[in-house]
Amino acid sequence: MNFDHDTVVGFTKSWGLFYLIAMAVGVLIYVFWPSNLERFHAAKKNILDEDDKPWK
């Protein structure tokens, strides 16, 4: 495979698109995975704790 301008452009236009879509789908699956919901709820509540010391 020769590494010229057209090759790079072709690669960018094809794989560049697909990997972005793949990553987006991956993120959406993670976010909406039902068993993760509880973890997200805990995460947003936990920072409001007034306890301000490192845990042991």
Please, where are the H alpha helices in 1-56? 5-32, 37-46
Nearer to other proteins, 11 or 24 (CB): 24
Tell me if 34 contacts other proteins by CB under 8 A: no
Tell me if 25 contacts other proteins by CB under 8 A: no
Tell me if 35 contacts other proteins by CB under 8 A: no
Tell me if 44 contacts other proteins by CB under 8 A: yes
Query: Are the C-beta atoms of 26 and 20 separated by less than 8 Å?
Result: no
Residue 22, both tokens: 């793949």
Among 7, 15, 23, 29, binds other proteins (CB under 8 A): 23
Phi, psi for 35 (deg, rounded to 5):
-75, -10
